[in-house]
Structure formats: structure tokens, C-alpha cells
């Protein structure tokens, strides 16, 4: 096609289609080779660790040097952790389905703003298609609705704002509030709930942390006592948050019992299902979230076990009207009818003004592979983690924290002769990362440090886990 591009100099180069085509093809080759290598017998290292000062010095040098873009991209690639590697068993980050990454490329070039309908017709409509599918998997009634937003942290804050408006006062957005307010949540909840409550001005008193049991699930038998105590302290509790599941141990709260409690006490019931809520797509594991359909709002991250690149989150409401009430903002240059419930202007209901075309990534997985693949991934990862737990229990000097309910496994290396086991396990995790053959993390629970695996990658196997334990044993023994 003959170009009408009359720009000169650098701007002409910036938008040059032929260099985009050349680099794009090279990039696809680089990434396809990478996927092949990750699925081969010899995938190499998960990461080539360098300390932050060396890494920064490297990039400063690189910036000053003479490198073309092919070289730049392959260097960034080489110096990044590989989540598709079977030995990646670390943080709860999705191992993206390649089709969703291709959709990401489409999204990044089209760059539709999405908050306003015309600035993302396809992406807004697809948000509705996707949230309808998720609502139906949750078991919500026809009144349900939802939208997509940038991450579980933001979605949890948005849900709590909606809860406050629904339970405390309709005019809270205009008038603020004088009375001390509070939310109740398990002490094992993700830190973003605590952060959301503080952003909302609730302060330390306003985040009531209910103790957990030996399985790290919220003690529902204590909910009434904690509510009464809050009232006696002059606090108005407006919401209870259930974890589905918790971050540190992957434990599912009893959602049925929280639903009973919130119903009796006229409180908002929010489910933080950022990590484990997608289990609604599984027949086998669906019962872990029984009662989720009784929640007022639910957060589910696609960028965890639903194989979508970050950030891609759904916030679902049992009663869609609640989702329109959260923000009552004047923005005449964006929307004509402030109060109208227009699903197609997704920015009316989200924090974001400009928003990624995140729905197209999820849609591409659904369209190419069907929604069953979501349940299949959950089932596969959960049963793999159960096998890991069995392997671990048969290894001397390893202790399991708690039987895994999801894809998260916490354990310790505990040789009989070593006194400071916290330090030993901390050192083991550090040395594992520096060696780069495996990636796992660690967590401190009630003063005890555990090694922590999140099994995110369907290509991880029992043999990988066995090798990991051997490497831990070898590192640990160097300290004895
Ligand atoms: C249970 C839970 N809630 C919320 C979050 C925060 O989600 P995001 O990282 O998408 O902001 C996480 C992240 O790990 C989580 O595990």
C-alpha cells in the first residue's frame, strides 16, 4: 500500500509500519521459541538473578550504549523472570495463555480508552459478555451486573465504597460521614482490604480483624461477639469480607456462614475471590465457594489462575444497580446523562478514566478455548498441589504447615540439628532465587518463616517438586 506519510525525521520513524512489522515478527519468533523451550526437556533457568544495584548499573550502561531494538528486546527478555517455566512456583501471577498475549498486542496498539463507549465499543461490549458469564458461573440472579477494572486491590476498594453507600447512607458521596464506620474481615485477608478501609478514612479501629482457626479460615463463631464489641465501641459495621481464598495459605472462608451472619445483621457481604474465586468455573472444586452466590459483591482476578495477563479483574454485583451508585460524578464532557445506568460507559462505575482494553484478553481465551478451560486449570493446579503435599510428607526434615485447599503450599525445612530455623529457611529461599533454578517465595506466619509455593503453572510436575526439595535439602545442609 502506498504511504501518505509526509512526516519527516524521527516522527516518521516512530510510526513506520515496516519496522513495526519486522520487529513484531521477530518478537513473535522470540516468544514462540521461548514457549517451545519452556515445554522442552531443558528449559534452562527461571531467572538470572542480579542484585538491584548491578541491575540498575547494567541498564544505565545499556541506555548509553549503541543497541538496536531487536537487541534491546532480547536483553529485556533475558533479564526477566520466566513464569512459563515449570520451576516457576512463586508469586500468584498468571501464566498467560498465548492467545491472551496476542490480544494484548492488539490492545496496546489500538489503545482504546474504554471508559467511554465510543472509546472502546468492542471492549465495553465484551466486558458485558464476560461479566454476564462470570455472574452466571457464580450463580447470581438476573439482577446481577459488573465491570472490569485494574486489579483486585482497586476492585476491593470499589466494592467497599459501594457497600458503604448502600448500607450507611445514600448521600455519603456528597456529604461524607461523621460516625465511625468499620468493616469486619479475617486476620488472614490480603493487605489491600486493610488499605482500602484506611483509604476510606476508617482508620485502625475501622478494620476489625477476626481471628482464624487452625486452617486459617475466619472464626465465624466469633462474628457476633466482634460485632457486639464494635457496637459497644461506637462503631457502625457496614460490611463483612470473606476470603476465597486467603493469600498466605490459600484457605477458603466458610461463605455460607458469613452469608447467614450478614443477612441476620443487615450487613453487606463482600467476597474477595481475587485468587480463588475463579473456582466457580470448576465442577470439581466449586463447593469450596458454596454461598458465594449469596454475596452482594465479588472480586475475581483473571490475572491469577484464569491465565490472563495482568491487570484484568472482574467486580461483580448481585444487584447491578449498586454498581452505578458508587461514584456519582459530574463529568459532562464524558457522559450526557450522569444518573443513567449505561453499562456501555464502563468508566461510570470504575476508578479508571482511561482503562486498558482488558476484556479482549479474557474474551480471546473464552472464544478460542471455551470457558471449561478455566475450571480445568483450577482442577489441575489444585490436584497438583495436593500431590506436592503428599510428596513433602514423605520427605524427612520437611514439615507442612497445613493441608493445601488450593494451589498454595507452605512448608519448612527443619533439620533436627539447626537452632534458628527462621533464619535457615530465609537463607534457603534467598539462595534458591540467586541460583535461579527454581522460584519460590517465603512468608512469616505468627513469627514463623515458611517456604511458600503457589502452583500457577500447569507445566509444573511432581518431578519438579521433588527436585526442588532436593535442592532445598542441599542448600540447607551447607548451613549445618
Ligand atoms: C486474596 C487476594 N486479594 C487481593 C489481591 C490483590 O490483587 P491485585 O494484585 O490484583 O491487586 C491478592 C493478590 O495476591 C489476593 O491474593
| pLDDT per position as a tens digit, 168-208 | 988 888 888 889 999 999 999 999 999 999 999 999 999 99
Share above pLDDT 70 across residues of the chain, in percent, rounded to a whole number = 98
Q: Give the span between the Cα atoms of 93 and 95, in whole angstroms.
A: 7
Residue 332: pLDDT above 60? no
Q: Is 151 in the pocket of ligand 1 (CB under 6 A)?
A: yes
Q: Is the CB of 152 within 6 Å of ligand 1? A: yes
| Nearest ligand 1 atom, CA 313 | 10
Answer whether 153 contacts ligand 1 (Cβ < 6 A): yes
- Going by alpha carbons, the residue nearest to atom 7 of ligand 1 is 152
How many other β-carbons are positioned within 10 Å of the β-carbon of residue 382? 23
Domain range list for the chain: 105-371
CA nearest ligand 1 atom 8, residue: 152
Q: What is the per-residue pLDDT across 220-239, written as a single tens digit (0 to 9) for each?
A: 999 999 999 999 999 999 99
Among 90, 91, 152, 315, residue to substitute to test ligand 1 (most atoms within 8 Å of Cβ):
152
The mean pLDDT value for 468-477 works out to 96
271, 276, 301, 441, best to mutate for ligand 1 pocket (most atoms within 8 Å of CB): 301
Q: Is 308 close to ligand 1, i.e. is its CB under 6 Å away? A: no
- C-alpha–C-alpha distance, residues 392 and 473, integer Å: 12
What would the pLDDT profile of 287-303 be if each residue is shown by its tens digit?
Answer: 999 999 999 999 999 99
CA angle 433, 77, 314 (to 5 degrees): 85
Write the DSSP string, 368-430: HH-THHHHHHHHHHHHHHHHHHHHHHTSTTEEESS--SSSEEEEEE--TT-S-HHHHHHHHHH
Ligand 1 pocket residue status of 190, Cβ below 6 Å:
yes
Q: Which atom of ligand 1 is nearest to the CA of 276?
A: 1
| Confidence (pLDDT) at 335 | 58
- Ligand 1 mean position to 58 CA, how many Å? 32
Dist. CA 286 → ligand 1 center (Å): 20
How far is ligand 1, taken at its centre, from the CA of residue 148, in Å?
A: 15
Residue 118 has pLDDT above 80, yes or no: yes
Nearest CA to 241 out of 265, 215, 209, 213 is that of 209
192 lines ligand 1 (CB under 6 A): yes
Mean pLDDT of the chain: 95
Tens digit of pLDDT for each residue in 16-70?
999 999 999 999 999 999 999 999 999 999 999 999 999 999 999 999 999 899 9
Beta-carbon contacts of residue 249 (< 8 Å; ≥ 6 apart): 188, 216, 401, 402, 408, 410, 445
Which of these, 268, 286, 234, lies nearest to 156 by C-alpha position? 268
pLDDT, tens digit (0-9, with 9 covering 90-100), for 223-282: 999 999 999 999 999 999 999 999 999 999 999 999 999 999 999 999 999 999 999 999
> For ligand 1, is residue 270 a contact (CB within 6 Å)?
no
Ligand 1 atom closest to Cα of residue 247 = 16
Read out DSSP for 198-258?
A: HHTT-TGGGEEEE-B-TTS-B-GGGHHHHHHHHHHTT-EEEEEEEESS-TTT-PPP-HHHH
Q: What is the Å distance from ligand 1's center to 369 Cα? A: 25
Mean pLDDT value of segment 311-340: 79
Q: Is the pLDDT of residue 330 over 70?
A: no
Which helix (H) or strand (E) is 448 found in, with range? Answer: strand 448-454
Contact of 186 with 209, CB cutoff 8 Å:
yes
pLDDT of 331 above 70: no
Lowest mean pLDDT among 87-101, 119-133, 339-353, 396-410: 339-353
pLDDT of 219 > 60? The answer is yes
How does pLDDT run across 86-113, given as a tens digit for each residue?
999 999 999 999 999 999 999 999 999 9
Instruction: Note the pLDDT of residue 339.
Output: 60
Residues 6+ apart with CB under 8 A from 15: 5, 7
Q: Express as a percent the part of the chain with pLDDT over 90.
A: 87
Measured from the CB, is residue 301 less than 6 Å from ligand 1? yes
Mean local confidence (pLDDT), 355-381: 97
476 grid coordinates: 540447607
- Residue 340: pLDDT above 70? no
Top-confidence residue, 341 or 378: 378
Residue 401 pLDDT > 90: yes
Instruction: Give the architecture (CATH level 2) of 105-371.
Output: 3-Layer(aba) Sandwich (3.40)
pLDDT digits (tens, 9 = 90+) for 71-81: 999 999 999 99
Cis ω on the peptide bond leading into residue 169 (within 30° of 0)?
no
Amino acid at each position: 500500500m502506498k504511504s501518505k506519510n509526509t512526516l519527516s525525521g524521527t516522527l516518521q520513524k516512530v510510526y513506520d509500519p515496516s519496522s513495526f512489522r519486522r520487529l513484531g515478527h521477530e518478537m513473535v519468533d522470540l516468544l514462540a521459541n521461548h514457549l517451545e523451550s519452556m515445554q522442552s526437556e531443558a528449559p534452562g533457568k527461571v531467572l538470572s538473578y542480579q542484585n538491584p544495584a548491578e541491575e540498575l548499573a547494567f541498564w544505565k550502561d545499556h541506555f548509553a550504549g549503541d543497541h538496536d531494538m531487536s537487541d534491546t528486546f532480547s536483553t529485556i527478555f533475558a533479564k526477566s523472570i520466566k513464569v512459563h517455566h515449570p520451576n516457576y512456583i512463586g508469586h500468584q501471577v498468571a501464566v498467560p495463555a498465548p492467545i491472551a498475549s496476542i490480544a494484548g498486542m492488539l490492545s496496546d496498539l489500538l489503545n482504546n480508552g474504554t471508559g467511554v463507549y465510543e472509546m472502546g465499543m468492542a471492549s465495553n461490549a465484551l466486558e458485558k459478555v464476560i461479566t454476564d458469564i462470570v455472574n452466571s458461573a457464580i450463580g447470581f440472579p438476573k439482577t446481577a451486573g459488573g465491570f472490569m477494572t485494574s486489579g483486585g486491590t482497586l476492585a476491593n476498594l470499589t466494592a467497599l465504597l459501594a457497600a458503604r453507600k448502600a448500607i450507611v447512607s445514600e448521600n455519603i458521596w456528597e456529604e461524607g460521614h461523621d460516625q465511625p464506620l468499620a468493616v469486619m474481615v479475617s486476620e488472614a485477608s490480603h493487605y489491600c482490604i486493610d488499605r482500602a478501609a484506611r483509604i476510606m478514612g476508617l482508620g485502625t479501629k475501622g478494620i476489625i480483624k477476626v481471628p482464624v482457626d487452625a486452617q486459617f479460615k475466619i472464626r465465624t463463631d466469633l462474628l457476633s461477639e466482634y460485632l457486639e464489641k464494635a457496637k459497644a465501641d461506637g462503631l457502625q459495621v457496614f460490611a463483612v469480607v470473606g476470603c476465597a481464598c486467603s493469600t498466605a495459605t490459600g484457605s477458603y472462608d466458610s461463605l455460607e456462614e458469613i452469608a447467614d451472619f450478614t443477612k441476620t445483621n443487615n450487613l453487606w457481604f463482600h467476597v474477595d475471590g481475587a485468587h480463588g474465586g475463579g473456582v466457580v468455573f470448576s465442577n470439581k472444586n466449586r463447593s469450596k465457594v458454596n454461598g458465594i452466590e449469596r454475596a452482594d459483591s465479588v472480586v475475581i482476578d483473571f490475572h491469577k489462575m484464569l491465565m490472563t495477563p495482568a491487570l484484568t479483574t472482574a467486580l461483580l454485583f448481585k444487584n447491578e444497580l449498586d454498581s452505578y451508585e458508587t461514584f456519582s460524578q459530574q463529568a459532562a464532557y464524558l457522559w450526557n446523562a450522569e444518573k443513567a445506568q449505561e453499562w456501555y460507559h464502563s468508566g461510570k462505575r470504575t476508578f479508571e478514566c482511561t482503562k486498558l482494553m482488558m476484556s479482549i484478553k479474557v474474551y480471546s481465551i473464552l472464544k478460542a478455548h471455551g470457558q471449561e478451560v478455566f475450571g480445568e486449570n483450577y482442577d489441575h493446579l489444585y490436584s497438583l498441589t495436593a500431590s506436592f503435599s503428599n510428596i513433602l510428607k514423605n520427605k524427612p526434615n520437611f514439615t507442612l504447615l497445613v493441608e493445601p485447599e488450593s494451589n498454595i503450599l507452605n512448608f519448612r525445612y527443619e533439620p533436627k540439628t539447626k537452632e534458628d530455623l527462621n533464619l535457615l529457611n530465609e537463607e534457603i529461599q534467598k539462595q534458591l532465587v540467586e541460583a535461579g533454578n527454581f522460584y519460590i517465595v517465603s512468608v512469616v506466619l505468627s513469627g514463623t518463616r515458611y517456604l511458600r509455593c503457589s502452583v500457577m503453572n500447569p507445566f509444573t510436575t511432581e518431578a519438579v517438586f521433588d527436585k526442588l526439595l532436593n535442592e532445598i535439602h542441599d542448600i540447607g545442609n551447607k548451613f549445618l
